[in-house]
Structure 1
Amino acid sequence: MSASQKDFSLDGLFGVKGLDVVITGGGTGIGFYMAKGFAVNEAITHIVGRRQAKLEEAKAAILQLNSNAQVVIHTADISSRSEVTSLASSLSKVDVLINCAGVVFPDPPCTHLTPLPELQKALLSSPSETWSNTFQVNVESVFFLSVSLLHLLAVAPNGGRIINVSSIGSTMSDPNTHQPAYQSSKAAVNHLTRLLASKFREHGVRVNAISPGYFPSQMQDPNNPKSNLARSKELVPIHRGGEEEDAAGTAIWLASKAGSYVDGQVIPLSGGRDWGLGSQY
């Protein structure tokens, strides 16, 4: 193919074969769905998590889909600066970094209809540790791991790519939800994405975020009838929750040639749910 010709084949546009893709939180939930998508499509998929057993379980499940898949396990607590440094030191090639690991801690329930004394009491009972631990995992780890791998991402043959996983909670202000620390941390991820994009672009590294809605995960149990995922038919404009392919496909698009003109953006992946800035959906 000459230099003037373009490759519009699926492999040319969406191919990720041979890319080294590092996914934090890759053993469960959305991170695992993305790991399956990359590994089945012949990327060298590095899954990072705190629990070795969960990572082994995820690797075995991926190998059942494609026995030739290349899956590398890294046990690390990315909320620890020293473990982030060790993880970065153990890697020699990174084309794509997906910051998917995240935590949410329960807060006392309250809504806009809660009487003032009870509302104030509920909000003030949110422990300070909830805020510090949430931001440490959801925001600080994204920053420090991204910066720690910058030297590898900057020499990726077709440009490095960072994909941060945010949440529709970062932009929604539904008064019926009660996760102020989590939602604030994900709003911080959105802005951190834009900040890193502005600093990294001259080094050939693109930074974007995906803002998922309701997907099966440890945070959204489809068997719990009160979970937003179980109620997705009524809450989500397209009347369903997110599926594994939705998460994997969006990440592959951003990591591949097809998404190479996207930078500093937060991509909603919520079936339109993020439109609802109140409780109307």
Structure 2
Amino acid sequence: MATNKKDFSLVGLFGVKGLDVVITGAGTGIGLYMAKGFAVNGAITHIIGRRQAKLEEAKTTILELKPDAEVIIHVADISSRDEVTKLASSLSKVDVLINCAGIVIPDTSSTHLTPLPELQKALLSSPASTWSETFSVNVESVYFLSVSLLHLLAAAPSGGRIINISSIGGTMSDPNTHQPAYQASKAAVNHLTRLLASKFREHGIRVNAISPGYFPSQMQDPNNPKSMLARSKDLVPIKRGGEEEDAAGTAIWLASKAGSYVDGQIIPLSGGRDWGLGSLY
């Protein structure tokens, strides 16, 4: 009698070889960490960013890890609808889309202890452009690129996968931070993730988000003693900041068969910092 044998091997569960993986914001930071993980494990890795030089550096870094890795560069400003349309038309196969591109524009510092006149002045110093630019890159690009690639994701043999990169800033409300537009945009990404998951489910596309804490990036400089990454031993319950493998491993899990029963979820990747610990400054 025939038996239905399951493949519990690492390759069977976590294999991503041959998948076409599209990653925005892949020239630096978390996007690059994920690109390394997919490329080294045999995925056809499409790295997207605004700066050709940064993408070339990223590709060189990946090829140093795996000389025969297939890495394809796409220069595009994903905050532009026209460039998103052009990018989508240049692709013929997409199994996984990772929306990682993001910006943060800090405002004037203030806390809950700032006297009212100074607090109001600090909060009103945030120009309208900060909000429009932040939402354009962090939220609108996620929506329009995901929708523009919908037909390709729906055609993926094992079902399309979208992974949005959010932030613990989208759920934590620490009064010591001074980037309200960024935090509001990441909260929007969380809800957009659930919305797209509900819209796309009948087409075999899973949509999830990863909510990172403190990782080395252009936003978090480990050499700056005042950065939250540098102070992660005190701020994070497991006493360290995020590492490259943490980001790559979580994305590979969601993109592989191992994560095939996860949909519409926001996955914390913060060493427990997202527990609602409030201010630990």
8 Å CA contact retained: 1:213, 1:242: yes
Give the counterpart letter for 1:221 in structure 2: D
Report the counterpart of residue 181 of structure 1 in structure 2: 181
Distance of 1:60 and 1:16 partners within structure 2: 21
Report the counterpart of residue 218 of structure 1 in structure 2: 218
Give the counterpart letter for 2:74 in structure 1: H
Report the counterpart of residue 10 of structure 1 in structure 2: 10
Report the counterpart of residue 93 of structure 2 in structure 1: 93
Matched, 1:50 2:42: no
CA deviations on 1:178-199 (whole Å, 9 max, x unpaired) are: 1100000000000000000000
Distance of 1:153 and 1:197 partners within structure 2: 13
Report the counterpart of residue 117 of structure 2 in structure 1: 117
Q: Against the structure 1 CA distance between its residues 251 and 120, is the aligned structure 2 distance closer, same or farther, given a 3 Å change threshold?
A: same
- Structure 1 unpaired stretches of 5+: none
CA shift for structure 1 position 3: 6.5
Report the counterpart of residue 67 of structure 1 in structure 2: 67
Give the counterpart letter for 2:110 in structure 1: C
Q: Secondary structure at the match of 1:273?
A: coil
TM-score scaled to structure 2, two decimals?
0.99
Distance of 1:55 and 1:5 partners within structure 2: 42
- Structure 2 unpaired stretches of 5+: none
8 Å CA contact retained: 1:173, 1:277: no
Distance of 1:12 and 1:174 partners within structure 2: 41
Q: Secondary structure at the match of 1:101?
A: coil
CA shift for structure 1 position 277: 4.5
CA deviations on 1:196-226 (whole Å, 9 max, x unpaired) are: 0000000000000000000000000000000
CA shift for structure 1 position 135: 0.2
> Number of residues paired by the alignment?
280
8 Å CA contact retained: 1:27, 1:48: yes
Q: Secondary structure at the match of 1:31?
A: helix
Which residues of 2 match residues 75-154 of structure 1 at below 5 A? 75-154=75-154
Matched, 1:242 2:252: no
Give the counterpart letter for 1:220 in structure 2: Q
Give the counterpart letter for 1:30 in structure 2: I
Distance of 1:193 and 1:40 partners within structure 2: 27
Q: Secondary structure at the match of 1:275?
A: coil
Distance of 2:181 and 2:18 partners within structure 1: 38
Give the counterpart letter for 1:32 in structure 2: L
**Sequence identity (%):** 85
Report the counterpart of residue 279 of structure 2 in structure 1: 279
Distance of 2:144 and 2:186 partners within structure 1: 16
Distance of 1:49 and 1:249 partners within structure 2: 22
Report the counterpart of residue 208 of structure 1 in structure 2: 208
